[in-house]
Amino acid sequence: MTVLSAHESAYTRRIRELAQTELLPLLDHGGDGRVNRALLAAMGNHGLLRDLFGGSPDEPPSDAAAMRLCLLRETIAGVSTEAETALALQGLGSYPILQSGRREAVERWIPGVVRGTTVAAFALTEPTAGSDAAALALTAARDGDGWRLSGEKIWISNAPEADVYTVFARTTPDAGARGVTAFAVAGNAAGLSGEHLDLLSPHPIGRLRFDDVRVEPADVLGEVDAGFKVAMRTLDLFRPSVGAFAVGMAQAALDATIDHVATRHAYGAPLATQQSIAHKLADLATQLEAARLLVYTAARTYDGGATRGEITRRAAMAKLFATEAAQVIVDQCVQLHGAYALRRGHLLEHLYRDVRAPRIYEGASEVQRSIISRELFRERTTP
Residues classed as catalytic: 362
Collapsing DSSP states into helix, strand and coil, what is residue 231?
Answer: helix
How far, rounded to the nearest angstrom, does the alpha carbon of residue 178 sit from its chain's CA centroid?
25
CA end-to-end span of the chain: 32
CB atoms within 10 A of CB 290: 13
Separation of alpha carbons 164 and 89, rounded Å: 12
All residues at 6 or more sequence positions from 52 whose CB lies less than 8 Å from its CB, including other chains: 64, 69, 72, 87, 90, 91, 95
Instruction: Quote the Cα angle for 48-186-87, to 5°.
Output: 20
Strand partners, 194: 208
CB atoms within 10 A of CB 265: 11
State the sign of the Cα–Cα–Cα–Cα dihedral 371, 373, 376, 378.
Answer: negative
State the sign of the Cα–Cα–Cα–Cα dihedral 279, 284, 285, 287.
Answer: positive
Instruction: Please choose, from the candidates 193, 188, 149, the residue with its C-alpha nearest in 3D space to the C-alpha of residue 167.
Output: 149
Instruction: Please choose, from the candidates 206, 203, 227, 229, the residue with its C-alpha nearest in 3D space to the C-alpha of residue 358.
Output: 203
What are the strands, taking DSSP E only, across 104-244?
Answer: 120-123, 139-143, 146-157, 164-170, 180-186, 192-196, 205-215, 220-221
Q: Are 82 and 36 in contact (CB under 8 A)?
A: yes
Amino acid at 134: A
Separation of alpha carbons 152 and 289, rounded Å: 41
